[in-house]
Structure 1
Protein backbone atom coordinates (compact mmCIF):
# COMPACT_ATOMS: atom_id res chain seq x y z
CA UNK A 1 0.00 0.00 0.00
CA UNK A 2 2.85 2.39 0.76
CA UNK A 3 4.33 1.71 -2.69
CA UNK A 4 0.97 2.47 -4.33
CA UNK A 5 0.75 5.76 -2.43
CA UNK A 6 4.29 6.67 -3.46
CA UNK A 7 3.56 5.81 -7.10
CA UNK A 8 0.42 7.97 -7.02
CA UNK A 9 2.34 10.89 -5.50
CA UNK A 10 5.11 10.59 -8.09
CA UNK A 11 2.52 10.41 -10.88
CA UNK A 12 0.83 13.58 -9.57
CA UNK A 13 4.18 15.40 -9.50
CA UNK A 14 4.88 14.27 -13.06
CA UNK A 15 1.40 15.48 -14.08
CA UNK A 16 2.05 18.90 -12.51
CA UNK A 17 5.36 19.17 -14.37
CA UNK A 18 3.75 18.21 -17.67
CA UNK A 19 0.92 20.71 -17.20
CA UNK A 20 3.45 23.43 -16.41
CA UNK A 21 5.28 22.58 -19.60
CA UNK A 22 2.00 22.68 -21.56
CA UNK A 23 1.51 26.27 -20.41
CA UNK A 24 5.08 27.30 -21.29
CA UNK A 25 5.04 25.59 -24.70
CA UNK A 26 1.72 27.23 -25.58
CA UNK A 27 3.20 30.72 -25.40
CA UNK A 28 6.37 29.80 -27.26
CA UNK A 29 4.46 28.11 -30.10
CA UNK A 30 2.13 31.12 -30.46
CA UNK A 31 5.08 33.50 -30.57
CA UNK A 32 6.82 31.27 -33.14
CA UNK A 33 3.62 31.18 -35.26
CA UNK A 34 3.52 27.37 -35.05
CA UNK A 35 -0.26 27.05 -35.30
CA UNK A 36 -0.04 23.30 -36.01
CA UNK A 37 1.97 22.92 -32.82
CA UNK A 38 -0.63 24.93 -30.88
CA UNK A 39 -3.39 22.75 -32.38
CA UNK A 40 -1.70 19.64 -30.99
CA UNK A 41 -2.03 21.13 -27.48
CA UNK A 42 -5.84 21.14 -27.73
CA UNK A 43 -8.40 18.33 -27.68
CA UNK A 44 -10.57 17.90 -30.77
CA UNK A 45 -13.60 19.22 -28.83
CA UNK A 46 -11.70 22.22 -27.43
CA UNK A 47 -13.25 25.57 -26.57
CA UNK A 48 -11.41 28.90 -26.49
CA UNK A 49 -13.23 31.89 -25.02
CA UNK A 50 -11.85 35.39 -25.31
CA UNK A 51 -12.89 38.83 -26.51
CA UNK A 52 -14.83 37.49 -29.50
CA UNK A 53 -16.81 34.88 -27.57
CA UNK A 54 -16.30 31.14 -27.38
CA UNK A 55 -15.00 29.16 -30.35
CA UNK A 56 -15.80 25.45 -30.22
CA UNK A 57 -13.76 22.68 -31.84
CA UNK A 58 -10.04 22.57 -32.52
CA UNK A 59 -10.46 23.80 -36.12
CA UNK A 60 -12.49 26.85 -35.05
CA UNK A 61 -10.02 27.65 -32.27
CA UNK A 62 -7.10 27.51 -34.72
CA UNK A 63 -8.99 29.71 -37.20
CA UNK A 64 -9.40 32.26 -34.39
CA UNK A 65 -5.67 32.10 -33.59
CA UNK A 66 -4.72 32.58 -37.24
CA UNK A 67 -7.00 35.62 -37.48
CA UNK A 68 -5.51 37.14 -34.34
CA UNK A 69 -1.91 36.40 -35.31
CA UNK A 70 -2.50 37.97 -38.73
CA UNK A 71 -3.22 41.27 -36.91
CA UNK A 72 0.01 41.24 -34.94
CA UNK A 73 3.66 41.72 -35.62
CA UNK A 74 5.94 40.23 -32.99
CA UNK A 75 4.29 38.74 -29.88
CA UNK A 76 5.68 37.56 -26.57
CA UNK A 77 3.49 35.50 -24.23
CA UNK A 78 4.82 34.71 -20.79
CA UNK A 79 3.07 32.88 -17.96
CA UNK A 80 3.62 33.82 -14.34
CA UNK A 81 1.84 31.69 -11.76
CA UNK A 82 -0.05 28.47 -12.42
CA UNK A 83 -2.31 26.68 -9.97
CA UNK A 84 -3.73 23.23 -10.69
CA UNK A 85 -6.59 21.25 -9.17
CA UNK A 86 -6.97 17.61 -10.18
CA UNK A 87 -10.59 16.57 -10.65
CA UNK A 88 -9.83 12.98 -11.66
CA UNK A 89 -6.91 10.82 -12.76
CA UNK A 90 -6.98 12.32 -16.27
CA UNK A 91 -8.76 15.62 -15.64
CA UNK A 92 -7.72 18.90 -14.06
CA UNK A 93 -8.45 22.60 -13.96
CA UNK A 94 -5.97 25.43 -13.73
CA UNK A 95 -5.59 29.16 -13.40
CA UNK A 96 -2.70 30.87 -15.17
CA UNK A 97 -1.71 34.49 -14.64
CA UNK A 98 0.12 35.81 -17.68
CA UNK A 99 1.17 38.80 -19.76
CA UNK A 100 1.47 39.23 -23.48
CA UNK A 101 3.33 41.88 -25.41
CA UNK A 102 1.91 42.46 -28.88
CA UNK A 103 2.96 44.59 -31.80
CA UNK A 104 -0.28 45.84 -33.33
CA UNK A 105 1.69 47.84 -35.81
CA UNK A 106 2.87 50.42 -35.37
CA UNK A 107 1.86 50.36 -31.68
CA UNK A 108 3.28 48.13 -28.94
CA UNK A 109 0.54 46.71 -26.68
CA UNK A 110 0.65 44.99 -23.32
CA UNK A 111 -2.05 42.67 -21.98
CA UNK A 112 -2.47 41.17 -18.51
CA UNK A 113 -4.45 37.94 -18.57
CA UNK A 114 -5.86 35.28 -16.34
CA UNK A 115 -6.55 32.01 -18.15
CA UNK A 116 -9.15 29.67 -16.67
CA UNK A 117 -8.21 26.25 -18.04
CA UNK A 118 -9.64 22.75 -18.20
CA UNK A 119 -7.18 19.95 -19.03
CA UNK A 120 -7.60 16.32 -20.03
CA UNK A 121 -5.05 13.60 -20.58
CA UNK A 122 -5.55 12.04 -24.01
CA UNK A 123 -3.31 9.37 -25.50
CA UNK A 124 -0.87 9.87 -22.63
CA UNK A 125 -0.56 13.68 -23.02
CA UNK A 126 -2.20 16.54 -21.18
CA UNK A 127 -4.12 18.90 -23.47
CA UNK A 128 -6.38 21.91 -23.20
CA UNK A 129 -10.08 21.11 -23.22
CA UNK A 130 -10.90 24.76 -22.73
CA UNK A 131 -9.20 28.10 -22.12
CA UNK A 132 -11.01 31.22 -21.07
CA UNK A 133 -8.89 34.36 -21.27
CA UNK A 134 -9.94 37.12 -18.89
CA UNK A 135 -8.29 40.51 -19.25
CA UNK A 136 -7.11 42.68 -16.37
CA UNK A 137 -5.98 45.24 -18.93
CA UNK A 138 -5.07 45.59 -22.60
CA UNK A 139 -3.58 48.84 -23.79
CA UNK A 140 -0.91 50.56 -25.82
CA UNK A 141 2.28 50.43 -23.78
CA UNK A 142 2.49 54.24 -23.67
CA UNK A 143 -0.94 54.42 -21.99
CA UNK A 144 -0.18 51.85 -19.29
CA UNK A 145 0.28 54.33 -16.40
CA UNK A 146 -3.15 55.87 -17.05
CA UNK A 147 -4.81 52.52 -17.71
CA UNK A 148 -3.84 51.02 -14.37
CA UNK A 149 -5.37 53.95 -12.49
CA UNK A 150 -8.79 53.64 -14.14
CA UNK A 151 -11.60 51.19 -14.76
CA UNK A 152 -11.68 51.38 -18.58
CA UNK A 153 -8.64 49.14 -18.98
CA UNK A 154 -9.44 47.44 -22.30
CA UNK A 155 -8.18 49.71 -25.06
CA UNK A 156 -7.91 47.70 -28.24
CA UNK A 157 -7.36 49.53 -31.53
CA UNK A 158 -10.54 50.64 -33.24
CA UNK A 159 -12.72 50.23 -30.13
CA UNK A 160 -13.85 52.50 -27.36
CA UNK A 161 -12.17 51.96 -23.97
CA UNK A 162 -14.14 49.39 -21.98
CA UNK A 163 -14.11 47.85 -18.51
CA UNK A 164 -11.80 44.91 -17.99
CA UNK A 165 -13.07 41.39 -17.31
CA UNK A 166 -11.51 41.24 -13.84
CA UNK A 167 -10.94 41.94 -10.97
CA UNK A 168 -13.99 44.15 -10.31
CA UNK A 169 -16.42 41.40 -11.41
CA UNK A 170 -15.02 38.84 -8.95
CA UNK A 171 -17.24 38.11 -5.92
CA UNK A 172 -14.24 38.43 -3.59
CA UNK A 173 -13.39 41.86 -5.03
CA UNK A 174 -16.99 43.01 -4.62
CA UNK A 175 -17.22 41.69 -1.05
CA UNK A 176 -13.94 43.39 -0.13
CA UNK A 177 -15.07 46.68 -1.66
CA UNK A 178 -18.19 46.66 0.49
CA UNK A 179 -16.46 45.89 3.78
Structure 2
Protein backbone atom coordinates (compact mmCIF):
# COMPACT_ATOMS: atom_id res chain seq x y z
CA UNK A 1 0.00 0.00 0.00
CA UNK A 2 1.41 3.38 -0.98
CA UNK A 3 2.07 5.83 1.84
CA UNK A 4 -0.18 8.40 0.07
CA UNK A 5 -3.08 5.94 0.20
CA UNK A 6 -2.49 5.30 3.88
CA UNK A 7 -2.27 9.04 4.61
CA UNK A 8 -5.51 9.65 2.72
CA UNK A 9 -7.27 6.86 4.60
CA UNK A 10 -6.05 8.16 7.96
CA UNK A 11 -7.13 11.69 7.02
CA UNK A 12 -10.61 10.40 6.09
CA UNK A 13 -10.89 8.64 9.47
CA UNK A 14 -9.82 11.84 11.23
CA UNK A 15 -12.38 13.83 9.22
CA UNK A 16 -15.12 11.35 10.10
CA UNK A 17 -14.24 11.56 13.81
CA UNK A 18 -14.22 15.37 13.70
CA UNK A 19 -17.64 15.51 12.02
CA UNK A 20 -19.06 13.07 14.59
CA UNK A 21 -17.65 15.25 17.35
CA UNK A 22 -19.21 18.33 15.70
CA UNK A 23 -22.63 16.67 16.01
CA UNK A 24 -22.03 15.68 19.65
CA UNK A 25 -20.78 19.15 20.61
CA UNK A 26 -23.85 20.71 18.94
CA UNK A 27 -26.21 18.94 21.36
CA UNK A 28 -24.17 19.90 24.40
CA UNK A 29 -23.95 23.56 23.37
CA UNK A 30 -27.71 23.70 22.73
CA UNK A 31 -28.38 22.26 26.18
CA UNK A 32 -25.82 24.61 27.79
CA UNK A 33 -27.37 27.64 26.02
CA UNK A 34 -23.97 28.49 24.52
CA UNK A 35 -25.17 30.60 21.57
CA UNK A 36 -21.67 31.82 20.68
CA UNK A 37 -20.45 28.23 20.79
CA UNK A 38 -23.33 27.09 18.56
CA UNK A 39 -22.59 29.89 16.10
CA UNK A 40 -18.98 28.71 15.91
CA UNK A 41 -20.22 25.32 14.63
CA UNK A 42 -21.86 26.89 11.55
CA UNK A 43 -20.46 28.45 8.38
CA UNK A 44 -21.30 32.10 7.71
CA UNK A 45 -23.65 31.05 4.87
CA UNK A 46 -25.40 28.47 7.08
CA UNK A 47 -28.97 27.30 6.64
CA UNK A 48 -31.19 25.70 9.29
CA UNK A 49 -34.57 24.22 8.42
CA UNK A 50 -37.02 23.09 11.07
CA UNK A 51 -40.41 24.16 12.41
CA UNK A 52 -40.13 27.74 11.05
CA UNK A 53 -38.93 26.71 7.57
CA UNK A 54 -35.48 27.39 6.12
CA UNK A 55 -33.47 30.19 7.71
CA UNK A 56 -30.37 31.44 5.90
CA UNK A 57 -27.23 33.02 7.34
CA UNK A 58 -25.45 32.38 10.63
CA UNK A 59 -26.93 35.48 12.32
CA UNK A 60 -30.58 34.68 11.49
CA UNK A 61 -30.01 31.01 12.41
CA UNK A 62 -28.71 32.08 15.85
CA UNK A 63 -31.72 34.40 16.26
CA UNK A 64 -33.93 31.35 15.60
CA UNK A 65 -32.07 29.37 18.28
CA UNK A 66 -32.50 32.20 20.79
CA UNK A 67 -36.26 32.38 20.12
CA UNK A 68 -36.65 28.62 20.47
CA UNK A 69 -34.48 28.30 23.57
CA UNK A 70 -36.38 31.15 25.25
CA UNK A 71 -39.45 28.87 25.15
CA UNK A 72 -37.77 25.98 26.94
CA UNK A 73 -36.61 25.10 30.38
CA UNK A 74 -34.04 22.30 30.55
CA UNK A 75 -33.24 20.45 27.33
CA UNK A 76 -31.24 17.34 26.53
CA UNK A 77 -30.25 16.65 22.91
CA UNK A 78 -28.56 13.40 22.05
CA UNK A 79 -27.55 11.92 18.69
CA UNK A 80 -27.86 8.21 18.02
CA UNK A 81 -26.73 6.84 14.67
CA UNK A 82 -24.74 9.00 12.29
CA UNK A 83 -23.81 8.22 8.70
CA UNK A 84 -21.40 10.39 6.71
CA UNK A 85 -20.75 10.51 2.97
CA UNK A 86 -17.82 12.53 1.71
CA UNK A 87 -18.66 14.50 -1.42
CA UNK A 88 -15.22 16.08 -1.83
CA UNK A 89 -12.01 16.63 0.12
CA UNK A 90 -13.64 19.41 2.17
CA UNK A 91 -17.36 18.62 1.90
CA UNK A 92 -19.63 15.90 3.22
CA UNK A 93 -23.26 15.09 3.94
CA UNK A 94 -24.65 13.26 6.92
CA UNK A 95 -27.79 11.79 8.42
CA UNK A 96 -28.15 11.89 12.21
CA UNK A 97 -30.95 10.11 14.05
CA UNK A 98 -31.56 11.86 17.37
CA UNK A 99 -33.86 12.57 20.29
CA UNK A 100 -34.41 15.70 22.31
CA UNK A 101 -35.99 15.96 25.73
CA UNK A 102 -37.47 19.40 26.31
CA UNK A 103 -39.12 21.13 29.21
CA UNK A 104 -41.73 23.33 27.57
CA UNK A 105 -42.86 24.50 30.95
CA UNK A 106 -44.66 23.00 32.67
CA UNK A 107 -44.80 20.07 30.22
CA UNK A 108 -42.03 17.51 29.63
CA UNK A 109 -41.71 16.93 25.90
CA UNK A 110 -39.97 14.34 23.71
CA UNK A 111 -38.92 14.76 20.07
CA UNK A 112 -37.54 12.10 17.71
CA UNK A 113 -35.88 13.55 14.66
CA UNK A 114 -33.55 12.99 11.79
CA UNK A 115 -31.07 15.70 10.82
CA UNK A 116 -30.05 15.92 7.18
CA UNK A 117 -26.69 17.70 7.31
CA UNK A 118 -24.18 19.25 4.96
CA UNK A 119 -20.66 19.86 6.27
CA UNK A 120 -17.72 21.87 4.98
CA UNK A 121 -14.17 22.25 6.19
CA UNK A 122 -13.40 25.92 6.76
CA UNK A 123 -10.08 27.21 8.06
CA UNK A 124 -9.11 23.64 8.94
CA UNK A 125 -12.33 22.78 10.88
CA UNK A 126 -15.48 20.94 9.89
CA UNK A 127 -18.68 22.99 10.30
CA UNK A 128 -22.36 22.77 9.49
CA UNK A 129 -23.33 24.34 6.17
CA UNK A 130 -26.92 23.22 6.63
CA UNK A 131 -29.09 21.22 9.01
CA UNK A 132 -32.60 20.13 8.19
CA UNK A 133 -34.52 18.63 11.11
CA UNK A 134 -37.25 16.18 10.12
CA UNK A 135 -39.58 15.11 12.90
CA UNK A 136 -40.75 11.56 13.44
CA UNK A 137 -42.74 12.77 16.45
CA UNK A 138 -42.89 15.67 18.88
CA UNK A 139 -45.22 15.18 21.81
CA UNK A 140 -45.76 15.75 25.50
CA UNK A 141 -44.30 12.82 27.40
CA UNK A 142 -47.75 11.87 28.74
CA UNK A 143 -49.05 11.43 25.16
CA UNK A 144 -46.15 9.29 23.98
CA UNK A 145 -47.93 5.91 24.46
CA UNK A 146 -50.61 6.99 21.96
CA UNK A 147 -48.65 9.20 19.58
CA UNK A 148 -46.88 6.48 17.57
CA UNK A 149 -50.18 4.95 16.41
CA UNK A 150 -51.25 8.03 14.46
CA UNK A 151 -49.83 10.12 11.62
CA UNK A 152 -50.65 13.25 13.69
CA UNK A 153 -47.42 12.95 15.67
CA UNK A 154 -46.36 16.61 15.84
CA UNK A 155 -48.11 17.98 18.90
CA UNK A 156 -46.38 21.21 19.80
CA UNK A 157 -47.99 23.28 22.58
CA UNK A 158 -50.59 25.76 21.40
CA UNK A 159 -51.05 24.15 17.97
CA UNK A 160 -53.30 21.47 16.56
CA UNK A 161 -51.64 18.07 16.00
CA UNK A 162 -50.18 17.76 12.50
CA UNK A 163 -48.60 15.03 10.42
CA UNK A 164 -44.97 14.17 11.00
CA UNK A 165 -42.23 14.81 8.44
CA UNK A 166 -41.10 11.19 8.32
CA UNK A 167 -41.43 8.32 7.61
CA UNK A 168 -44.67 8.56 5.60
CA UNK A 169 -43.20 11.14 3.19
CA UNK A 170 -40.18 9.00 2.28
CA UNK A 171 -40.23 7.36 -1.15
CA UNK A 172 -39.14 4.04 0.36
CA UNK A 173 -42.02 4.15 2.87
CA UNK A 174 -44.54 4.95 0.12
CA UNK A 175 -43.25 2.11 -2.09
CA UNK A 176 -43.35 -0.36 0.80
CA UNK A 177 -46.88 0.54 1.91
CA UNK A 178 -48.09 0.56 -1.70
CA UNK A 179 -46.68 -2.92 -2.26
CA UNK A 180 -48.23 -4.14 1.00
CA UNK A 181 -51.67 -2.79 0.14
CA UNK A 182 -51.61 -4.39 -3.34
CA UNK A 183 -50.47 -7.77 -2.02
TM-score w.r.t. length of structure 1: 0.99
Alignment deviations for residues 138-162 of structure 1 (CA, whole Å, 9 cap, x no partner): 0000000100111100000000000
Which residue pairs with 1:104 in the alignment? Answer: 104
2:40 is equivalent to residue 40 of structure 1: yes
CA distance in 1, matches of 2:150, 2:165: 13
Runs of 4+ with >4 A deviation: none
- The 3-state SS of whatever aligns with 1:160 is coil
Offset of residue 134 of structure 1:
0.2
Which residue pairs with 2:168 in the alignment? Answer: 168
CA RMSD of aligned residues (A): 0.6
- The 3-state SS of whatever aligns with 1:98 is strand
TM-score w.r.t. length of structure 2: 0.97
What is the correspondence of 1:26-175 to structure 2 with a 5 Å cutoff?
26-175=26-175
Alignment deviations for residues 118-145 of structure 1 (CA, whole Å, 9 cap, x no partner): 0000000000000000000000000001
Q: Which runs of 5+ in 2 are unaligned?
A: none
Offset of residue 90 of structure 1:
0.1
CA distance in 2, matches of 1:61, 1:142: 31
Offset of residue 74 of structure 1:
0.1
Offset of residue 7 of structure 1:
0.2
CA distance in 2, matches of 1:47, 1:131: 7
> How many residues are matched?
179
Offset of residue 69 of structure 1:
0.2
Alignment deviations for residues 94-139 of structure 1 (CA, whole Å, 9 cap, x no partner): 0000000000000000000000000000000000000000000000
Q: Which runs of 5+ in 1 are unaligned?
A: none
